[in-house]
Amino acid sequence: MNKRVKSDYPPVRFFLLGGEEYALVPLRLLKVVDDLEELEDELLAARALQEHDPRGSGIPAAVVHAIAGGMHPVRAWREFRGLTQEKLARMARISTTCLAQLERGTRQPEPSLARALSHALDVPPEVLVDVIMDDGESTHGAADGGR
C-alpha cells in the first residue's frame, strides 16, 4: 500500500504490523507537520490575546510570539518597548527587585500595580492587567501579592 501525499515529497509508506496500520513518513515531511503545529500554537496564542483586546487595537507579533514562547507579559512588552528593568521600574514607581520578581513570576501584582505597569508600558490596561492576572494564576502562582 503506497499513497502519495504531495508530488514533490517522497511517498509515505503504509504497512500493517500486528493488526495495526502504520505510516513511514520521510523526516522532511515530518518537519513540515511540526512547523504547522508550531504555527497553530502561535495562532491560538494570538487568539487568546485577542480575547483580551476585543477592539483589535493590535498586539505586536513580537509580543505575541514572546508570550506564546513562555515569556512573562511584562517582560515581553518591556523588551518590545526597548526599556531596561531599571527604566520601567522608575516609570512605574516600583523597585527593580519587585519588577524582576514580577517578570520571573515569583510575585503576583495587585491590580493597581498591574495598571501602573500598563500605563508605563503604554499598553491598554485591559490587555496587560488581564493577561498578567491570568498568567499569574495559571502558570506562576501567586507569591505574596504585595509590593
At the second CATH level, the architecture of 53-140 is: Orthogonal Bundle (1.10)
Count the residues in the chain: 147
* Per-residue cell: 41: 500554537
Query: What is the identity of the amino acid at 125?
Result: P
Domains of the chain, by residue range, sit at 53-140
pLDDT at 9: 67
pLDDT digits (tens, 9 = 90+) for 19-44: 999 999 888 888 888 888 888 877 77
Is pTM beyond 0.85? Reply is no
At residue 132, the pLDDT reads 67
Could you tell me the pLDDT band of residue 74, with boundaries at 50, 70 and 90?
very high
DSSP H or E stretch at residue 78: helix 73-81
Average pLDDT, the chain: 78
Under 8 Å between Cβ of 105 and 135: yes
Between residues 45 and 39, the one the model is more confident about: 39
